[in-house]
Structure 1
Amino acid sequence: MTLSRTFAGLCFALAGSSVAAQESDPIARGDYLVNTSGCHDCHTPWIMGANGPEPDTTRALSGHPADETIEAPAVVPEGWTMAANLTSTAWSGPWGVSFTANLTPDPETGVLRDMSETQFIETIRNGRHMGQGRPLLPPMPWPAYRNMTDADLAAIYAYLQQVTPIRNPVPEPLSPAQ
């Protein structure tokens, strides 16, 4: 057997064991889904690093930083749909300003603190806060995520319940400029 075939077999075996672990452990599956589905792209504030923008892992999944005040929608130039702030946690467009939620299990400021697994799944399925409230605002790609299985969404919920809680009150959305 050649070295490359041995290496390929080892990689396949490791990938297979990873998939098996995910199937038997919802938290491992949720970790995989959160880290491959772009959740950190918006829910983790970005900072300027040595090589450009990068996620601030000390504030992973904590949403829009409470200490960054935005009082009015940005003026979006003609031909543009939306604008994002420097941390990639506030988005301005025709809907006003949306702020990414704190997905950590902080008991005071985490959006999931009062949300059951069923409500979380319903939120993603129908694009409404708490499964029945106001519409989820752009850029939340819930129309794509709604295609995930109930098991995958439950795994994401389970994973988010055990990440490090970060106290970070996120503001409510701002209405469009009049």
Structure 2
Amino acid sequence: MKRSFLLAILMSAACIWAGEPDSNQRGRYLIVIGGCNDCHTPGYPESGGKTPESDWLVGSPVGFQGPWGTTYPTNLRNSVAHQTEAEFLAKAHTAMRPPMPWISLANMTDSDLKAVYHYIKSLGPKGPDAPAYKAPGENVETPYFEFVPKNLPPSDDQTGGQQ
């Protein structure tokens, strides 16, 4: 009787464990559905998502310019290579310059953020870092998309919440 009970407990635990997705696979899934590759992987949207995974998340020298200045998609592989999990989680809960959808990132669960962190970390560093942020009015020598809505009423805050 004791053996049957112990066996039932072990089998239940094995079923629960087997049902949990691998953390790296969960992180990969979140990267894909979160649209991270759309900006952080050159050519991803144009390829219909067919960019080899070995080329994912290397950032881009093509900037996004708006009232906040000019920002560039970070080389996540290089930045995560130098961050602890705790540092990554803290950064994920911090406001970032547009067009990064940081509010979506900040609302992810710590479990999901950890999966994203470990997936990116598993890819290893690759390529150069993205260019540095340029404040409004600074000379920009790289290609960039201009994010300037037309015909908006005046606003007191043109920084996107950033100082």
Structure 1 residue 153 and structure 2 residue 113: aligned? yes
Residue 165 of structure 1 and its aligned partner are, at CA, apart by 3.2
Select the structure of larger CA radius of gyration: 2
1:42–1:63 CA contact under 8 A, matched in 2: yes
Unaligned runs of 5+ in 2: 1-17, 139-163
Aligned mates of 1:154, 1:164 — CA distance in 2:
16
What residue number does 1:118 align with?
A: 86
Question: Secondary structure of 2:30's match?
Answer: helix
What residue number does 2:13 align with?
A: none
Question: Secondary structure of 1:53's match?
Answer: coil
The correspondence of residues 80-99 of structure 1 with structure 2, limited to 5 A, is 89-99=62-72
Q: Of 46, 57, 78, which aligns to 1:53?
A: 46
1:21–1:28 CA contact under 8 A, matched in 2: no
Aligned mates of 1:141, 1:116 — CA distance in 2:
22
Identity of aligned residues (%): 34
TM-score (norm 1): 0.60
Unaligned runs of 5+ in 1: 1-18, 66-88, 105-109, 128-135
Letter in 2 for 1:36: I
The correspondence of residues 17-166 of structure 1 with structure 2, limited to 5 A, is 20-22=19-21, 25-46=22-43, 53-54=46-47, 56-57=51-52, 59-65=55-61, 89-104=62-77, 110-127=78-95, 136-166=96-126
Q: Map Cα deviations across residues 18-49 of structure 1 (whole Å, 9 max, x no partner).
A: x9342xx21111111111111101100127xx
Task: Give the root-mean-square deviation of aligned CA atoms.
Answer: 2.3
Question: Secondary structure of 1:31's match?
Answer: helix
Aligned mates of 1:169, 1:34 — CA distance in 2:
19
Letter in 2 for 1:147: N
Letter in 1 for 2:120: L
Residue 53 of structure 1 and its aligned partner are, at CA, apart by 2.4
Residue 164 of structure 1 and its aligned partner are, at CA, apart by 4.8
Aligned residues: 119
Letter in 1 for 2:100: M
Letter in 2 for 1:113: A
Q: Map Cα deviations across residues 62-118 of structure 1 (whole Å, 9 max, x no partner).
A: 0014xxxxxxxxxxxxxxxxxxxxxxx4201011110111112xxxxx112321111
